[in-house]
Amino acid sequence: MDIKLLDIKFDSVKHETLDMLGIEWLIARLDLIHPIVSGNKLYKLYFYVQDAITNNKTILVTKGGAYSNHLVASAYYAQLNGLKSIGLVRGEKAKHQSHTLTQCEAWGMQLAYISREDYPLINENNIQQYVSFDKKHCFFIPEGGYGNSGTKGASHIMEAISSLNPSYITTAVGTGCTLSGLLYNKKSQAKIIAVPVLKGFHDLEKNMSDLLASQTPINFEVFNDYHFGGYAKKNEVLLQFMNAFYVENNIPTDFVYTGKMIYGIWDKINAGYFPKESKIISIHTGGLQGNLSLPKGTLVF
């Protein structure tokens, strides 16, 4: 793996509650991989891009919303590998373009806006109707990097983490692809804790069984109560928590994924969920560029 994907920094959370409970809490800083393109998306892209290169494809085609961490990661990673990229964006072109899409274009991604009706129908077999290049040069990556290659890529996150022998590994969950990657890599005995950021996310089990094939995940639990009303929803409690966590630990989080996950783990620590001498590693999956959509001054970092 390249761009230092395996060179993960771990920061320790300091708090008297943790000392009192005898709990060690580390944050795996995938957000430090790159200032804008941070986190799990680069791992998920790795094998797709390898496949594209092996098959002599020169153009990556993928899709996402106007604030998509995946789109910006794809634009960057394509450029890094000398590939062109096309981003199929959900919905109309906005009057004020998001910073995410501006950044995508800065990394050479060509954007095309797809109506909300057509967007869900885009797949590997029909991309020709959305792109002007010949399909034979194009390599399609599903939204969010979701799929077997994404799972395999995400499983590499475990390489760096398992050597620290944690008793718990926690991650925010969107599609469950990263989570499946952690479970796919059997190196660790740790219990894996998933914190979904979507409300009533019923597809998680289905997605996991798709991605993990016949493997039944054991030693795994879902904390369902930390979605804060749904995807990209937020409130003062969450934002204040993120600010306080930053002030105390110097670790920035994002309001869509990692802020909610860290909040949830902290809440469960305080509720006595984790036994004495637990060693928890929470994966900071990145996504910090998403905070730029918040009004200035909302966050102290």
Ligand X SMILES: *Cc1c(COP(=O)(O)O)cnc(C)c1O
- Least distance (Å) between residue 31 CB and ligand X: 8
Told to check if 291 binds ligand X by CB under 6 A, we report no
Binding flag, residue 39, ligand X (CB under 6 A): yes
Cβ proximity to ligand X: between 28 and 179 the closer is 179
Q: Tell me the window of 15-23, 185-193, 262-270, 283-291 that interacts with ligand X (CB under 6 A).
A: 283-291
**Toward ligand X, which CB reaches closer, 41 or 152?**
41
Q: How many CA atoms lie within 13 Å of 80's alpha carbon, on the beta-carbon side? A: 16
- The reply on whether position 184 binds ligand X by CB under 6 A is no
Q: Which CB atom, from 149 or from 175, has the smaller least distance to ligand X?
A: 175
Instruction: Work out how close the CB of 1 gets to ligand X at its nearest, in angstroms, rounded to a whole number.
Output: 17
Per CB under 6 A, 252 contacts ligand X: no
User: Contact, 32 vs 1, CB < 8 A?
Assistant: no
Does residue 33 touch ligand X according to CB under 6 A? no
173 binding ligand X? (CB under 6 A): yes
Quick one: which of 98, 178, 185, 282 contacts ligand X (CB under 6 A)?
178
Pick the binder of ligand X from 172, 208, 262, 269 (CB under 6 A): 172
| Burial class of residue 179, CB neighbours in 10 A (0-12, 13-18, 19+) | buried
Residue closest to ligand X when measured from CB atoms: 287
Is 155 among the residues that bind ligand X (CB under 6 A)?
no
Residue 134 CB, shortest distance to ligand X, in Å, is: 30
Provide, rounded to whole angstroms, the least separation between the CB of residue 194 and ligand X: 8
- Does 142 bind ligand X (CB under 6 A)? Our answer is no
Residue choice 176, 252, 259, 264 for contact with ligand X (CB under 6 A):
176
In angstroms, give the least distance from the CB of 208 to ligand X: 10
Residues at the site binding ligand X, with contacts judged by CB under 6 A:
39-41, 69, 144, 172-179, 254, 257-258, 285-287
